[in-house]
Amino acid sequence: MDEKQRINQILSGDTSAFGYFVDTYQEMAMAIAFRICQNKEEAEDIAQNAFVKAFKNLHTFKIKSKFSTWFYRIVYNTAQTQMRKSVYKTEFVASKHEELNEQTDDHAVAGIPSEEQEKLIDRAMAKIPNSEAVVLTLFYLEENSIKEVAEIMGLTTSNVKVKLHRGRKNLAEAIKKEGS
């Protein structure tokens, strides 16, 4: 059964069919939310609220569109709203990055165990602007196109390209610093 058939099933009243979408998209929802709030519990909260919102507004989903794009936009907007309301906002203070040294150490993560690499990436992602972290997550984790990333984040494709380019640079720099 494809996603469109499942959506029709849910709209006909079979709530349990929504479980498929929770199973399929929960990890990505967490990843997007985590990139914005930098807290696992809060990311879970955001992801949960996003799923509930998606269910309530499923009747507005255009069946010809891609569900993942529509849903990730909800996650992104929910995360942004929750962060604006959050008392303990952590502001990213843009640090002045030196001109990228083209000869960055390509072996910054070589030899580090896989589990450590995950933590390294999380720490490095936390050091770059949230919007760049989200762009990188959407582009590489789920392999969304530039156009899809732009649609999810409400940006133009040019903006996404710029953020992707800057994000790669900043993340590589952050990984190098964390790894050393």
Instruction: Give me the residues that bind another protein (CB under 8 A), please.
Output: 15-16, 18-19, 22-23, 26-28, 30-31, 34, 40, 43-44, 47-48, 51-52, 55-56, 104, 106, 108-109, 114, 117-118, 120-122, 125, 136-137, 140-141, 168, 171-172, 175-176
* Nearest CB to another protein, comparing residues 64 and 106: 106
Asked if 146 contacts 115 with a C-beta cutoff of 8 angstroms, the reply is no
- Output the smallest distance, CB 83 to another protein, in A: 17
- Output the smallest distance, CB 56 to another protein, in A: 7
- Output the smallest distance, CB 139 to another protein, in A: 9
- Output the smallest distance, CB 23 to another protein, in A: 6
- Output the smallest distance, CB 154 to another protein, in A: 22
* Nearest CB to another protein, comparing residues 5 and 116: 116
**Which residue, chain included where needed, has tokens 């569109």?**
65
The sign of the torsion formed by the CA atoms of 121, 127, 130, 136 equals negative
* Nearest CB to another protein, comparing residues 65 and 104: 104
* Nearest CB to another protein, comparing residues 22 and 155: 22
* Nearest CB to another protein, comparing residues 63 and 141: 141
Nearest to 137 by CA among 39, 41, 40, 29: 29
Q: What Cα–Cα distance (Å) separates residue 109 from each residue in 51, 164, 173, 178?
A: 35, 21, 12, 9
Alpha helices in the chain (DSSP H): 3-11, 19-37, 40-56, 67-85, 114-127, 130-136, 146-153, 157-179
- Residue 153, judged by CB atoms within 10 A of its CB (0-12, 13-18, 19+), counts as buried
